[in-house]
Structure 1
Amino acid sequence: MQIIEMKVLRSIYYTHTHFLHRNLSRTPVSLSLFSRHFHSSNPRFSLNSLETDGTQRAPHAWTAYEGLTPDLSTPTNRHKGITQGNESASGDETDADFETHRTYGKAKNANLSDGDKTQMAKNARYIPNENTDGMSRKKAFSVNGLGLGDIVGNKKKGKSRVKWVCENCGYSDGQWWGVCRSCDFSGTMKRFSEVETKNRGLEFSETLARSWLPKDTGDVEPVKLIDVNSGVKKTDYRIPLFGPFGSEVARVLGGGLVPGSLVLIGGDPGVGKSTLLLQMAALIAEGHDSGQPTCVVYVSGEESVEQISSRAERMKIGANELYLYAGTEIEDILTKIQSLSPRALIVDSIQTVYLKEITGSAGGLSQVRECTSALLRFAKKTNIPVLLAGHVTKSGDIAGPRVLEHIVDAVLYLEGEKCSSHRLLRSVKNRFGSIDELGIFEMSQLGLQVVLNPSEMFLSDQNSDSEFLAGLAVAVIMDGSRAFLIEIQALCVSSSTVSRHVNGIQASRADMLISVLAKQAGLKIQENAVFLNVVSGVSLTETAGDLAIAASICSSFLEFPIPSGVAFIGEIGLGGELRMVSRMDKRVSTVAKLGYKKCIVPMSAKKSLATLDLGELEIIGCNDLKGFINTVFTKN
């Protein structure tokens, strides 16, 4: 047993001495002038650790690279081991090497400015440690003296942050996407840069603030609503617009132009935005409400003054107080018009103006947003209404950030077809009125002219003696507070393949009405191809046109023409019953004014219309589809 133990001890001893021979030193080997070392990772493999000095050695923490500062290293035990050994023999740094490092640092510092040297001194400051000797202090300072801390620790004076912003919905992202991740529109991500200042804040000018509230709120107190309105005259609430053109525009604006408001008018290129704004500017400048001409400034960033004057001459506009100015810089524009104190300001267009303090070109996201905010502040502080023209995108939305439509007080759209001279002015946002109003104009050589009878746009010339009138019916629809008469056409053709084609009518609604006619009225139209169309490209979105659609289908299928003096109002249910719709009095009154002789309505609506003075108009009530067909398509 003793022999086996002796063999084990002998093998352990020779194995240990094989790995750790007498010549191995704990002194690290220098590999470069920057004092990068490889050290033992476990003190048990050191011969000196086998010696018993009566005290337990603390474990050593070794690194592959010398720390740049004393805080990042453990020099206490490491330099203690270095001083015990022979530094020159082990390849460690000597005083000559240290002088080389210090000289290199001085040479490099000589090319630096005073500010950089101050920053280097801060980075090179040494925190004393009672366990650190002088040699470690020299090493720590010499490495920091090379300027590494200054390079790493430098703070950038100004930094440009790049974002990609969707011009359709305003969604922002740090990288470009082909399709917006919020609204799924393709090709709408635009580059947007924000420049930071030295205090790491975005560039900001107090004159461009969106808020018009007083900055010193110490003297501002809440006031009662009756006290606010008591000192304001009702005539000062709005600027009235006189004449047929002015009345049509005032209808869309809610009664007139509100002082201090910001109105945005958008539309396709060539639809007539500049013409509309120039006519409004001339109308306000005539000063019919005040009895004398008033100053109005028309600013254009797209046309010269001579071009605007030529267009005004063609439209026979000769207002004496209408000022023209061609400019694109917002601060310059507002400075020039201060001495004039205009009653209204027109800017054509918001995509052509810019601010010097804001980065980016005119028409960019930041420029459009900040220019609109500056004009809003100007309008609220001076109580001068500002009208803006805005470009639109391919999808029909206002070009620029979505916040543009949130900033302004009202957004109007001027719509029109390429093959038609008629123009529709709609309101999609109005803080001072309803958005259900509609203005109808016709583009002519003299500008936009008011259409007195809008139903003429949607009705064709009818001849009761013609055999080709089968399949035509007149419906009465509402758009805002106005009633229109539109013509619906239907064509039923026997075909081996059943197909349905609709234009201006919801396909699901058309399918439902055809199925109800087949089921409840007994019409055998299942094997017919049905075509439906609304004249003049109008879209029928309300259910008040159900009765007219059914009448046109029955007329084409039965080949029975409908007389020209008949109109249809009503909704059809799945059971074939006729239902009353809203605003029946307004619809029937419009039919009576246009000289129609008969109007087919649900029986429930006939009772409520009995008190109206409709002249020669005859109201005919029906309960269901069978009674309706028997009344209309029966020869007398």
Structure 2
Amino acid sequence: MARPHKRFVCQACGSVSSRWQGQCADCSEWNTIVEEAPSTAATPFQAKHNLQGGGRAIEMIGLDSEVKLPDRMTTGIAELDRAMGGGFVEASATLFAGDPGIGKSTLLLQAAARLALAGRGVAYVSGEEAADQVRLRARRLGLGAAPVRLAAATSTRDILTTLSMGPPPALLVIDSIQTMHSDLIEGAPGTVSQVRASAQELIRFAKERGTAVVLVGHVTKDGSIAGPRVLEHMVDTVLSFEGERSHQYRILRAVKNRFGGTDEIGVFAMDEEGLSEVANPSALFLTHREEGVTGATVFPALEGTRPVLVEIQALVVRLASGATPRRSVVGWDSGRLAMVLAVLEARCGLSFSSAEVYLNVAGGYRVQDPAADLAVAAALVSALSERPVPADAVAFGEIALSGEVRPVAHAALRCKEAGKLGFERALAPASVGKDAGPLRVSGFKTLGALVDHLLGRG
């Protein structure tokens, strides 16, 4: 009998090697490689020559076949349903990831309770907390009377055996997948092999019984989802719950969605009664604004089809000669800030080389829209010259390395949202023209023209 080959798997990235080593060659993490049981799957040679039995013929269909849209379960939480594209899809698997303490369990418990109160069968399985702890949280949220089937377990086989004894639930929440273990393979809970195997069994149950399964996942220090990357490929939807503990708001993003788009967000606020919906996020991020403050610009960001107005703040501090200036960014890409500073120096004649630059997006919001370039540039020029940007103006536009102000998508939608909140002007690309809706447009072809406008040169 042939001796089984040893198999070593990195618990951080899932890389497989034939021998143990201290550092993973793929992800460079230390002490993450663990020996796992060898795979019993057929080798490529065995599969090619059909040495382990014959397969069955599969049915092939054409692209023009009729397709039925999947049925969805709306939770009644509009922001959650928006981010998912309309609600949970039957017989689907969703990975719900976020930082510890961000509110993942709270939001899912609220959604599960609402579905249960609407007559849907819901099961909530916690592998991190005792059942009494979950019940106490439900009482604090005012959901203690919801008919949710609750259990505290970590064995995947026990969970699936219990659920198979009666009608399958419409929604199954597993909190969290890193605590689950399957007795079909060796390894401690949380290892790559256990997470992969447990998720595979739960997803198979979802597809066979028509249950919508939600797997709560942890994240690493850099914000990526913990466990094997294959887990994100196995599920149908990946939701990321973001936010800072020191701030009230939370943002739910769809990173992957096989049944809808990934460009919508849901905004929530944490209060004493759990997570509440924020119907108008712009009002949340623009509270307590003061007129006449230098270095502050309002930017109409776009998250999918939803415009969100945020305040971008800049501070420029002159240093003594010889000191090394510092660049600090919160809520925006530091590389993008370096580019905007370089264009301001090379194309507009402004000097930031002897000054420290601090940039912050108010409220802890994270801006990823490239249209924020012009708003950032306006805030930097205002902070450097100590001349405030007009309080009734918003700014948006993308900046090229040549100093050109390039057009951005959905200008009318951005301006419409700004008009609702009382803004009257828009500092925008010259191509916007009449698309600004209710706002008066000050259009600029180059960044130098914007600088001249803010400094009163023309």
Judging by fraction of residues, say which structure has more helix.
Answer: 1
CA distance in 2, matches of 1:191, 1:216: 32
Q: Displacement, 1:427? A: 1.9
Which position in structure 2 is the counterpart of 1:172? 16
Which position in structure 1 is the counterpart of 2:384? 557
From the superposition, tell whether residues 461 and 161 of structure 1 become closer, same or farther in structure 2 (CA, over 3 Å).
same
| Structure 1 residues 91-135: Cα deviation after superposition (integer angstroms, max 9, x where no partner) | xxxxxxxxxxxxxxxxxxxxxxxxxxxxxxxxxxxxxxxxxxxxx
Contact in 2 for aligned 1:360/1:366 (Cα 8 Å): yes
Q: State the secondary structure of the residue aligned to 1:474.
A: strand
Which position in structure 1 is the counterpart of 2:115? 284
| Structure 1 residues 403-444: Cα deviation after superposition (integer angstroms, max 9, x where no partner) | 222211112122222322322222222211222222221222
Contact in 2 for aligned 1:472/1:490 (Cα 8 Å): yes
From the superposition, tell whether residues 167 and 427 of structure 1 become closer, same or farther in structure 2 (CA, over 3 Å).
farther
CA distance in 1, matches of 2:22, 2:284: 42
Contact in 2 for aligned 1:192/1:365 (Cα 8 Å): no
From the superposition, tell whether residues 577 and 223 of structure 1 become closer, same or farther in structure 2 (CA, over 3 Å).
closer
From the superposition, tell whether residues 627 and 269 of structure 1 become closer, same or farther in structure 2 (CA, over 3 Å).
closer
Q: State the secondary structure of the residue aligned to 1:194.
A: coil
TM (norm. structure 1) is: 0.64
Which position in structure 1 is the counterpart of 2:27? 183
Q: Residue 237 of structure 1: which of 53, 63, 71 is its match? A: 71
Q: Displacement, 1:181? A: 0.8
Pairing of 1:96-495 with structure 2 (within 5 A): 155=1, 162-194=6-38, 217=56, 221-224=59-62, 228-229=66-67, 232=68, 237-242=71-76, 246-287=77-118, 293-318=119-144, 320-338=146-164, 339-459=166-286, 461-464=288-291, 466=292, 469-495=293-319
From the superposition, tell whether residues 161 and 631 of structure 1 become closer, same or farther in structure 2 (CA, over 3 Å).
same
From the superposition, tell whether residues 414 and 541 of structure 1 become closer, same or farther in structure 2 (CA, over 3 Å).
closer
Which is greater in Rg? 1
Q: State the secondary structure of the residue aligned to 1:516.
A: helix
Give the letter for the 2:442 counterpart.
I
CA distance in 2, matches of 1:360, 1:577: 57
Give the letter for the 1:551 counterpart.
A
| Structure 1 residues 513-560: Cα deviation after superposition (integer angstroms, max 9, x where no partner) | 334334543445555444433334444444312222222222223221
Which position in structure 2 is the counterpart of 1:499? 325
Q: State the secondary structure of the residue aligned to 1:489.
A: strand
Give the letter for the 2:184 counterpart.
E
| Structure 1 residues 293-331: Cα deviation after superposition (integer angstroms, max 9, x where no partner) | 121111222223222221111111145532112222223
Query: After TM superposition, which residue ranges in structure 1, 4 or more long, deviate above 6 angstroms?
Result: none
Judging by fraction of residues, say which structure has more strand.
Answer: 2
From the superposition, tell whether residues 366 and 623 of structure 1 become closer, same or farther in structure 2 (CA, over 3 Å).
closer
Q: Displacement, 1:457? A: 4.5
Give the length in aligned residue pairs. Answer: 444
| Root-mean-square deviation (Å) | 2.9
Which shifted more, 485-494 or 558-567? 485-494
CA distance in 1, matches of 2:175, 2:353: 56
Question: Percent same amino acid among aligned pairs?
Answer: 39
From the superposition, tell whether residues 618 and 319 of structure 1 become closer, same or farther in structure 2 (CA, over 3 Å).
farther
